[in-house]
Structure 1
Amino acid sequence: MCRLILVVLLLFMINGCGPGGGDSSSANNSGNTNEPSVSTKSSSALEVFAYETQRVVNLSLSIGSEYTSSQKQILLYETQKTINDASTPGDIIVYEALLTEGVSNNNGSYETTLTLGGHIDSIWIIIPAIAYEKRINIINNEIILNITKGS
């Protein structure tokens, strides 16, 4: 008797939970499948990155001797945005998505290889010690930059 109840219960569950089964409140009258849909409102870099479109970019940076021969911190960011805050005078500049950071050698040279998403066509190079902030375009998967006074 117990086995019969289990078999009937199992058949009821199979028929009730299969395609088109269940209660009427979950029925889909639009003709679409019962698969959940995903909606995204933002198109941030994390959402458009795909490993299939990543690329290797070579960076070669040279800091001129007029900035002294000591080592300099170098920060590479993907984006920059300006925030207008009424509670502070002026604009606030924020760099986002740190790609990498490093230090130049005593001769002012810095070289690295970056793996970037295909959607990145430029990066921000920041060198705080010499107040250098500039957006640099990536051309043929290379960035070659010589920084001198006035550049």
Structure 2
Amino acid sequence: MTDAQVLFNENSTELALDNHTQTLQYIQDAVIPNMLGPLDVSIDHYLKVNKNNNIKKSVRRTLRSLSDSASTLCIYSYGKHIQKLLSILQITSARLPKGTKLQQWNKLSSFTQIKHKHGNELIDDKITIPIFITVVTTGDAQLDPLYSAKFTKQ
């Protein structure tokens, strides 16, 4: 029998990673602001991605969010859901109107899940769960400050 504790930046979060809604909301409320720090970057829309998202609907929503060239969209996920996020980004990029360039900045962070052992087990298991944040726009939004927050331009 094990108990699991989830940490972000070495602080306990009270999260259960299998509760996707709670975890994704925590990422939007706590992780993204932490990653952006004091930067003056305006995020107009957020898209939470988990393995249950319908790719077609997510691509449509992403394209709709990016239809205003001044709009900035933050797409994020964690763990096993990141692959679906990457698929949505790839398809969105391919479906943009001709001549429209997608500007994308990425950053990785992580949760640490500690499984506390009981009985004869002496060592706790530590598992690193990746968190992927990407900020995209099709316009001239001034997102260069993301460089100082260690985001990587794609």
* TM-score interval (norm. to shorter): under 0.3
Question: Which of structures 1 and 2 has the bigger CA Rg?
Answer: 1
User: Would you tell me which structure has more helix in proportion to its own residues?
Assistant: 2
TM-score (norm 1): 0.24
